[in-house]
């Protein structure tokens, strides 16, 4: 996996850490969560175009799609390895929306597997109020949680594709990573 990321736990200057967190909470920079070793069991919710949907299940099962292919621009930073056989847990729904990355009809694929590498962590508006302790959540379950303070979403390189976790999975500031180029900019602006 890519080594262009630096753990916030290794930054000794707490002023710099706070500056990074403030920029993250205001969505001026991205932070990442690293799933190393055996990865993290979860589900991936992803948007598929109608043209990819035609052979989508087969592409995913064969490892020829975005989250496994070595030709993917994300290959050096993240992967999602689906549990096989896919058919036993794949949920497909058809939708329509206009957004930054979707222009019209799409198919949402949700399937179980293992996340590996660096995934984008996006704070909700309530994340800053939990003293550096966060709960991994997703768009659907966020509104269902009794206490959503500290909630963060985990996305791929596309904000339409995100991870879904069962139960409460907590992380803290020490679990977050920053791109080394962004860290250099933060340090020089101090």
CB distance 2 to 77 below 8 Å: yes
- Report the b/e string of 103-112 with b at 16+ CB within 10 A: eeebbebebb
CB distance 48 to 56 below 8 Å: yes
Note the pLDDT of residue 167.
80
Work out the burial of residue 185: count CB atoms within 10 Å of its CB; fewer than 13 is exposed, 13-18 middle, 19 or more buried: exposed
Note the pLDDT of residue 166.
87
pLDDT in tens, the chain (190 residues): 567 999 999 999 999 999 999 999 999 999 999 999 899 999 999 998 888 888 888 888 888 888 988 888 888 899 999 999 998 999 999 988 767 667 788 899 999 999 999 999 999 888 888 888 998 988 777 665 555 678 899 999 888 899 999 887 899 999 999 999 999 999 998 6
Note the pLDDT of residue 144.
56
């Amino acid at each position: 996996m890519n080594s262009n990321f630096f753990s916030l736990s290794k930054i000794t200057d707490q002023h710099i850490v706070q500056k990074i967190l403030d920029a993250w909470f205001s969505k001026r920079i991205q932070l990442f969560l690293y799933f190393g070793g055996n990865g993290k069991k979860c589900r991936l919710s992803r948007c598929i175009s109608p043209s990819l949907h035609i052979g989508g299940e087969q592409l995913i099962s064969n490892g020829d799609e975005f989250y496994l292919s070595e030709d993917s621009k994300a290959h050096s930073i993240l992967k999602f390895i689906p549990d096989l056989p896919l058919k036993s847990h794949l949920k497909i729904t058809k939708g329509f929306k206009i957004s930054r990355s979707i222009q019209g009809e799409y198919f949402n694929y949700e399937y179980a597997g293992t996340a590996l590498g660096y995934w984008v962590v996006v704070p909700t508006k309530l994340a800053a109020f939990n003293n550096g302790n966060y709960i991994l959540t997703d768009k659907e379950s966020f509104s269902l949680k009794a206490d959503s303070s500290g909630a963060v979403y985990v996305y791929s390189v596309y904000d339409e594709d995100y991870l879904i976790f069962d139960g409460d999975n907590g992380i803290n500031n020490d679990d977050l990573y920053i791109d080394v180029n962004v860290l250099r900019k933060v340090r020089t602006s101090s």
